[in-house]
Structure 1
Amino acid sequence: MTAIRRLTLQNVRSYAALDQRFDGRSVVLTGPNGSGKTNLLEAISLLSPGRGLRSARLSDVRRQGADGFGVGVSLGTDADPDETRLSIRSAPPRPERREARVDGQPASGPGAFLDHVAMSWLTPAQDRLFVEGASERRRFLDRMTLTQDRAHAQASAAYEHAMRQRNAALTGPRSPDPRLLTVLETQMAESGVAVAAARRATAAALARGYEGLREGAFPGAEVALEGFLEEGLAIRAASDVEAEFQERLANGRRRDAEAGRALTGPHRSDLHVTHTDKAQPARLCSTGEQKALLIGLVLAGAAARRDQADVPLILLLDEVAAHLDQHRRAALSDILEQLGCQAFLTGTDAELFDAWGARAQAFAVSEGTLTERG
């Protein structure tokens, strides 16, 4: 199985330096709060498009007093543990930019790593995903979509870029050029429909993924997408939805100029999850049920992409076992083994991971160092 076999860190938060080998099994990291467990997961997550599992600025990731930082992983198998090397660094004169490399050669950015590895994660900050604002749910959905469709990163970036340019043109000191706005709105319509279509495909994939999970371990979930584009694609051809979106943008220029932002598009969509066994919206479920629903969604996503064997999936599960009973912890261990993907799990108590036994490589984390447990 292709997995992370080596992790190197330089000046990443609490880690002055780290060079750690892994044997391809899942990795359990335990230690007291503040020991560096989440910092390690965050470092790995930076090898993915976006701002990592904490959505932090690179200046916050950099160890205090350092000029820059670096993160590197080797992906491989037992036969070739260093088959592919991915790395990023941040250094003057552009400390807020990640310089990416694949096997030592410059890459366009972390988006290039999607050809080699996919990542999904859960953190305690996401425990309120179903009861807070739509933006966090969109981020969660788009992260899930990236594990299913590598092109989603490019479409999302193209949409955001065109939208920012249109916003600047509409709110600038000069009257906007209608021809420029038409070009930008065309780009927004094309990329926006691609974003919405990828999200819909992910929702369908999650439904398939649930069928392959151990029945009863985690609650089933029904995923619904709320948004003009996503709902339109359910009943009309993509070309028709694209044309209608472009028309809405053109007709809404004055309104968007007054608001200072685009008021319609996939950046306004939302994700709704229903606990299928109870026919109850996730936002109305208990805290424990919401946590189980989140874990189930991530596992269903992993199950849905098992046929994508060319790109391994890495799961980063921060404090995931703390709110699970013994039965669900054992089920999680069994499902991860069944899915055949490497997971990095953190917790304060080693006993929470007894169900993993020899199926995971366990480390004690203390003051930015890792010590393998016997």
Structure 2
Amino acid sequence: MEKKELIGLSQVQMKELASAMGEPSYRGTQLFECIYRQRLLDFQKMTALPAKFRENLTAQSQMSLPLVEKKFLSSDGTVRYLLRLGDGQRIETVLMPEKARDTICVSTQAGCPVDCKFCLTGTMGFFRNLTAGEIAGQVLLLMFEHNLASERQLNLVFMGMGEPMYNYQNAMDAIHLMADAEGMSVALSRMTLSTAGVVPGIEQFGKGKKRPRLAISLNATTDELRNEIMPINRKWPLAELLNACREFPLREREKLTFEYVLLDGINDSVQDAQRLTKLLAGLRCKVNLIGLNPGTELPYRTPTEERISQFQSILIHKGIPAFIRKPRGRDISAACGQLKLNENVQTSAVSNITPDEAKLSPADSAWIA
């Protein structure tokens, strides 16, 4: 009999599992706490559970995390993880530690179907969606690896491999699982989900009562250019995308985040900045400016710091909060847009571990272009 995978099950699902094994449903909550709060991946160490329940769990279920094939350590402290899933697919997850907080960049798909022309992940093509357990498992794994304490601020950004809106249900299931106060207890306000502009996904996301923050990867101020560098714009052009943003139900003190990757001589002119201020006029938002993180396969260059600062000044002058994102992990191909399973980097830390491998199945996509 194939064992049931527990990583990825919600508290409600674990209560149902306990009941199906002849236990009171509250034992499912205890099991949930053991895995996600106490981080116990050995049933015999879950001494809060009755011996019979632990025996049944051992016989009928399993807890599996991704396999760490390699990890790469940047000079700035960033750590890039090359992970292998149970079916052999590989993904990447990035940890960006700081003095008072940790940020984990999480993948939602193996590869990416969106094909942004300035992003190395897009050159890989698309392989499959990740399950809720594979998404949450990345965070749980890094918590184990680095002993991340719940007392420290933990931010999760769903900006790794893949388009989250094309794996909407699994991504949201993982988000709600990780936000559960009985488990990992990551505040929804500390999570950000980024999309290249899947308008139906943005609309559905806005209807959710419990959701993280939203970021839009914009990167151009005309349909002509956005069609070229972000083919998804042909399906949902700027007017439709920005209309969805204007109708998005922001909470008190919440702002939309617009990500804008600057490409030298392509989308970084004074005119581009001026058009951007007009496109975003009246929106409660902020803009993160990102100088292109280079890759040998990309036909673009990174603008000078002076040009990026000039772009920022134009936005700020028009009352739009704009921030220049400091690249993290660029030297180990861990920065925004660089994730492509690259093993050919110089690094001071390369490691392999061998946790149990998951038995996984693909999930369905929504709104595939």
Query: What TM-score results when the alignment is normalised by the length of structure 2?
Result: 0.30
Q: Which has more helix, going by share of residues?
A: 1
TM-score by length of 1: 0.30
Tell me which protein shows more strand as a share of its residues.
1
